[in-house]
Structure 1
């Protein structure tokens, strides 16, 4: 049986459900409730300027996603149509696609922490020193280029509709794990799924917590690949080099600006390459090594 191929026009006319859009009112209500309880209990989980910055970043991101929708769909369809095989859109294909997307989200997320170029697309999500549901809105405006990491998902042959729905579910899952109010859950859940406890570790700048718990929906990838860290001491949130700004443009582009500055100040191609692609947590050490060579 010959595989059915899709045109961009066909997919755009499918009226795919926008799960995130439907969930948005609930998300904003929950943010409001969490903020209220934080205020009433004097827990200082929220900062008005920080939340406004996060919301602005999130809304602009929605606009960017809409603006590049045709490009995104075109990339996914191109690679789906290239391979001669396909997986039918059935209940079990949704489960398999969700797991496969999550596997690649783990590696995309890990690379975004261990490679400075990709870190620049992701740092916006981490430069808040608060941890609450509004932080889930802070997604850098250049993070859309990470679509390249999901081409392997499409090459397996998952139906485009299955892919787009599962990807939305993965993104939506990230919302609920950004909170202090949900503590550790029963052990079976904590062992398999990424929970608020795991993700608090991921957002911390405590030395023992750096570069840990990259899992999106499933924490099993961290357990398999040696990046798992249980929550022990209280997390200190933010990045190791604070931005000290609530300006959305600064929050989204400060790392890119620093990369350009470091490349301009480089004395060799090797140094310039290192300034772009070094592991962020090792960057200061690398800079000191190059300074010694200059002396």
Structure 2
């Protein structure tokens, strides 16, 4: 039996063939994508309202950058639409075929799906900062020096190729239907859109204790030494509290947004690729194969001990250069 026949058999037996056909590689408009389509008018409406409030403050809003952010978001959605069905879906189908438990959708399994997806998101997001291969794609989201709703759309179309989706595969192996996982993930991203703003201050204490809030996420986007690489949570902030990565927003320390080594250009292609270029340049320096490959999975600021001091700097974890006056 060929690999293609085996995959088709797995899809049929797992009950996901119909979904695979509807989510064809060329138009993967499944439930997850449908949620984004339905949410887009809401995103645009609140973005316009925010824009009207802050448009005169260049520290909070730059119209050209906002347009660029939505263009980046459109590129991200396009590659997800075209390639998720080819790259990620067959692997999810395979894992779900060998699932450990038969789970029916009810209130309990629905809640566990939400909780599991949020837990997996925390570790995927944390890896996106602490493993350079993942950071090469995620850096685009952090490279803006402003925090507004358009920043939420600032994504890298290479995300689907980096393999961050693999962090959710254990859920399919446990028996959570990939459709449920996709819906929970999409709803989480919709929620996270609304934490990208400076217009919402501190919320009631119980909300701040449990949920990711605009204040928590402003910290996450800071390049201040006190804030950098903190608050990885998606919908919930409890994982950061449990695993020691939580930092509260401090009014005495204004958030300095962005990355410590700004992208060399605002050209879209440069924004997408500049960290990949630096990564592969570091890997190309002389040395053994293992030491070169270490750049892929070591933290972004890591340098080989014997490497020249002129090696590239991490775009998040080094002190930012002084700005010209």
TM-score, length basis structure 1: 0.90
Instruction: State the partner residue of 2:288.
Output: 268
Shift in Å, 1:65: 1.2
Residues 215-261 of structure 1, C-alpha deviation per residue, up to 9 Å, x if partnerless?
A: 11111000000100000111100011111422111111110011111
Aligned match of 1:256? 276
Unpaired runs of 5+ residues, structure 1, are: none
- Which has the higher mean CA deviation after the structures are superposed, 262-271 or 242-251? 262-271
CA RMSD, 1 decimal: 2.0
Instruction: Tell me if structure 2 keeps the 8 A contact 1:271–1:290.
Output: no
CA contact (8 A) 2:20 2:85 kept: no
1:160 matched to which residue of 2?
178
User: What is the aligned partner in structure 1 of residue 266 from structure 2?
Assistant: 246
Gaps of at least 5 residues in structure 2 are: 1-12, 24-29, 310-325
2-structure distance, mates of 1:270, 1:169: 40
The equivalent residue for 1:139 is 155
What are the within-5 Å matches in structure 2 for residues 175-190 of structure 1?
175-190=193-208
User: How far, CA to CA, are the matches of 2:167 and 2:193 in structure 1?
Assistant: 21
Partner deviation per Cα, 1:96-152 (whole Å, 9 max, x = no partner): 101101101100111111111111121111011111000111121221221111101
Whole-angstrom distance in 2 between the partners of 1:199 and 1:10? 34
Distance (whole Å) between structure 2 residues aligned to residue 266 and residue 276 of structure 1: 16
**Structure 2 residue corresponding to 1:291, chosen from 278, 296, 308:** 308
How far 1:267 moved relative to its partner? 3.0
Aligned residues: 285
Contact 2:132 2:299 in 1 (8 A): yes
1:113 aligns with 2:122: no
Do the aligned partners of 1:38 and 1:45 also contact (CA within 8 Å) in 2?
yes
Query: Matches of 1:255 and 1:50 in 2, distance apart?
Result: 20
Q: 2:146 aligns with which of 120, 130, 141?
A: 130
Are the counterparts in 1 of residues 147 and 196 from structure 2 also a CA contact under 8 Å? yes
- Partner residue in 2 for 1:37: 53
The CA distance in 2 between the partners of 1:199 and 1:26, in whole Å, is 20
Partner of 1:19 in structure 2? 35
Q: Do residues 98 (structure 1) and 118 (structure 2) align? A: no
Paired with 2:59 and 2:224, the residues of 1 have a C-alpha distance of 19
Instruction: Say if 2:140 and 2:155, in contact at 8 Å, map to a contact too.
Output: yes
Greater relative contact order (CA < 8 Å, ≥ 6 in sequence):
1
The alignment status of 1:7 with 2:16, answered yes or no, reads yes
Corresponding position of 2:69: 54
* Inter-partner Cα distance in structure 1 for 2:232 and 2:151: 16
Larger deviation: 248-257 or 17-26? 17-26
Does the C-alpha gap of structure 1 residues 127 and 288 become closer, same or farther in structure 2, counting only changes over 3 Å?
A: farther
Residues 55, 62 of structure 2: 8 Å contact kept: no
- Please report how far the alpha carbon of residue 10 of structure 1 lies from its aligned counterpart in structure 2 after TM superposition: 4.2
